[in-house]
Amino acid sequence: MTAIMILHIRSKYTAVGRKEIVMFFWMYALIELLALFLDSGVIPTSNVVYPWFAAAYTGLVAATYCCLLVNGFVGFQFAEDGTPLSLWFLRISCLVIFGISFFISAATFKQFAGFKYDKPIGLWIVYILWPLICTVIYVVSQLVLVFRTLDDRWPIGDIVFGTAFFTIAQVLLFAFSVTICDAIKHYIDGLFFFTLCMLLSVMMVYKYWDSITREDLEFSVGSKAAVWEVKDPLLAGPGGPDYEEDTASNYHGGAPASLVGGLSGQQLYQKGGYPVRAYPPSAGGGY
């Protein structure tokens, strides 16, 4: 599903914020790929590399929310979208947040630089509080954008549904995960429904962006062939609104046209009927 959204975003060549928002979906895809190794037990929790992969996962989550936050201000055009200034500001911001979150997570897991896993205040900030702050700011900024610059109010529905799915995901993971796990006899837990709801919330981010962006069709590149409409009356077919054919000419069986001396060309150069005007003219012919 993420691949489909990325392909569709990349196909909208002239949409506002295309390069910025596609980075968010690439980072989300990378998070889910890394989560497959951590959540499924491919990398056991007892393995020595598990804390480092978990720290990288935490850093990616924090950086992805930073990317979402910056994308929330792209529509306000503080910097023109797609320019090096906009793209490098986004990349550097995400890289800085990733580095800080990775360091805090690794230091908490390994207990160095004053961090301890029995008091994970820093980890709680970068993994719980920071995503919540980014989400709230993004939602508020997009509501302001819709009310101030758009005539269409339908994108608000996408924002509401995305916020609802995000909230449900957090509640299922942190409040009912154990209850769900015990009720289904440990086949699945709240993490499964958390991942599903987060996917739906990300899809709402895509749906919202798609609903507020329009392509400039003059410069767009699509897979369908263009349909050209003939506007020139010289190229229009018979019977068109700008084309009127002369039906009174000899071509359509009308009266012969007069060329010389009140005679038609057929009469002038035909021997039968008008011998004085036949070709070649006789010696005694003339007016």
Longest dimension (CA), the chain: 131
Q: Look at residue 113 in the predicted model and tell me its pLDDT.
A: 85
CB atoms within 10 A of CB 162: 23
| pLDDT of 9 | 85
164 and 277 share one domain: no
| Residue 233 belongs to a domain | no
89 lies in the same domain as 169: yes
Between residues 188 and 246, the one the model is more confident about: 188
**Residues listed for the chain:** 287
- Between 167 and 240, the more confident residue is 167
Percent residues over pLDDT 90 in the chain: 42
Q: Is the pLDDT of residue 241 over 70?
A: no
pLDDT at 23: 93
Per-residue confidence (pLDDT) for residue 274, from 0 to 100: 47
What's the rounded Cα separation, in Å, for the pair 57 and 34?
A: 7
Question: Are 271 and 184 found together in one domain?
Answer: no
Ramachandran category for residue 270: left, alpha or beta (phi over 0 → left; psi -120 to 50 → alpha): beta
Q: How far apart are the first and last CA of the chain?
A: 92
* CB 109 within 8 Å of CB 51: yes
- Residue 197, Cβ density class (10 Å: 0-12 exposed, 13-18 middle, ≥19 buried): buried
Specify the CATH number for the domain of residue 53. 1.20.1070
State the chain's mean pLDDT as an integer.
Answer: 80
Q: Would you say residue 108 has pLDDT above 60?
A: yes
Range with the poorest average pLDDT among 28-32, 72-76, 108-112, 211-215: 211-215
Tell me: pLDDT of 161 over 70.
yes
Q: Is residue 246 part of a domain?
A: no
The answer to the question of residue 121 being in a domain is: yes
pLDDT tens, position by position, 57-80: 999 999 999 999 999 998 888 888
- 72 and 138 Cβ atoms separated by less than 8 Å: yes
Q: How many folded domains does the chain comprise? A: 2
Nearest to 26 by CA among 80, 77, 63, 55: 63
Q: Confirm whether 219 is domain-assigned.
A: no
Phi, psi of 186 (to 5 degrees): 70, 15
240 or 1, higher pLDDT? 1
Q: Is residue 223 part of a domain?
A: no
- pLDDT classification of 250: cutoffs 50, 70, 90: low
User: pLDDT at residue 226 above 90?
Assistant: no
| In the chain, alpha helices (H) | 2-11, 18-39, 50-71, 84-110, 121-124, 130-149, 155-174, 177-183, 190-212, 265-268
State the DSSP code for 251.
G
Residues 47 and 173 in one domain: yes
**Per-residue tokens: 215:** 């392509």
Say whether both 164 and 268 belong to one domain.
no
- Asked which of 197, 212, 227 is the last residue of a domain, the reply is 212
260 has which bridge partners?
Answer: 263
Residues 148 and 278 in one domain: no
Distance CA 260, CA 276 (A): 13
Q: What is the pLDDT of residue 248?
A: 53
pLDDT at 199: 93
Do 73 and 194 fall within a single domain?
Answer: yes
Q: Within a domain: residue 187?
A: yes
pTM for this model (two decimals): 0.72
pLDDT top residue among 167 and 185? 167
My answer on whether 155 and 285 are in the same domain is: no
Phi-psi category of 115—alpha, beta or left, where left has phi over 0 and alpha has psi -120 to 50? beta
Residues 82 and 182 in one domain: yes
The residue among 153, 177, 212 that closes a domain is 212
* 25-45 residue pLDDT tens: 999 999 999 998 988 888 888
137 and 45 housed in the same domain: yes
User: What per-residue confidence (pLDDT) applies to 121?
Assistant: 92
Residue 119: strand pairing partners? 116
**Sequence letter at residue 208:** Y
How much of the chain exceeds pLDDT 70, in percent?
A: 75
Shared domain for 126 and 197, answered yes or no, is: yes
Query: Does any domain span residue 240?
Result: no
Q: Among the three residues 212, 233, 248, which one is the final residue of a domain in this structure? A: 212
* Position with higher pLDDT, 239 vs 107: 107
Q: Which domain holds residue 7?
A: 2-212
Residue 97 lies in a domain: yes
Most confident of 4-8, 213-217, 221-225: 4-8
Asked if the model's pLDDT at residue 90 lies above 60, the reply is yes
How many Cβ atoms sit within 10 Å of the Cβ of residue 194? 20
Domain shared by 196 and 280, yes or no = no
For residues 58-97, b (16+ Cβ closer than 10 Å) or e, as one string? bbbbbbbbbbbbbbbbbbeeebebbeeebeeebeeebeeb
